[in-house]
Structure 1
Amino acid sequence: MADITDIKAILYTEKTLGLGEGNVAVIQTAPSMTKNSLKAILREYFGITPLKINSLRMDGKVKRFRGRVGARNDFKKFYIKLPDGVSLENIGA
């Protein structure tokens, strides 16, 4: 069962800020997170019932550092459609 510590970050990029105008928030999580567990976390900790959740699994990029091969960590991105008037920025304020 996933918990709130599996949420790594709320993503703020040029693309996600544009999506924010349509009440869509983008969250980066651990790869083990599911839509149902994220929905339960949003309800329990933030009091939000999302309208829709889309997920995207991202594999870590293979990179070289000083001639050695390594890889970035895998993660999941969730696109969360929020009800009108609700945003993740004003939660907890």
Structure 2
Amino acid sequence: MADITDIKNILYTEKTLGLQESGVVVIQASPKMTKNALKQVLKEYFGIVPLRINSLRMEGKVKRFRGREGQRNDFKKFYVKLPEGVSLESKEG
């Protein structure tokens, strides 16, 4: 079962800020999280029922760190369509 700790962060880039104007929030989460688990976390911790959730699996890039080859972590990206006038802020209590 997924938990709120599986959500790593909310992405704020030039592209995602443009999407936020149309009510879509981009969330970076662990690769094991599913759409249903994310929906349940949003409902439980934020009191939000999303209209639509699309997911995208991102594989970590291979990079060089001080001459040694390494790999960034894999993650999932979720595009969450929120109802009008709703923002992602945690509930009080």
Using the size of structure 1 for normalisation, the TM-score is 0.94
Q: Aligned pairs, how many?
A: 91
Q: Distance in 2 between matches of 1:82 and 1:66?
A: 42
Question: Tell me, which stretches of 5 or more residues in structure 2 are unaligned?
Answer: none
1:45-83 alpha-carbon deviations (Å, 9 max, x no partner): 110000000000000000112221100000000000000
Q: Which amino acid aligns with 2:54?
A: N
RMSD (Å), alpha carbons: 1.1
Identity of aligned residues (%): 76
Q: Which runs of 4+ in 1 moved over 3 A?
A: none
Q: How far 1:6 moved relative to its partner?
A: 0.4
Question: Tell me, which stretches of 5 or more residues in structure 1 are unaligned?
Answer: none
Using the size of structure 2 for normalisation, the TM-score is 0.94
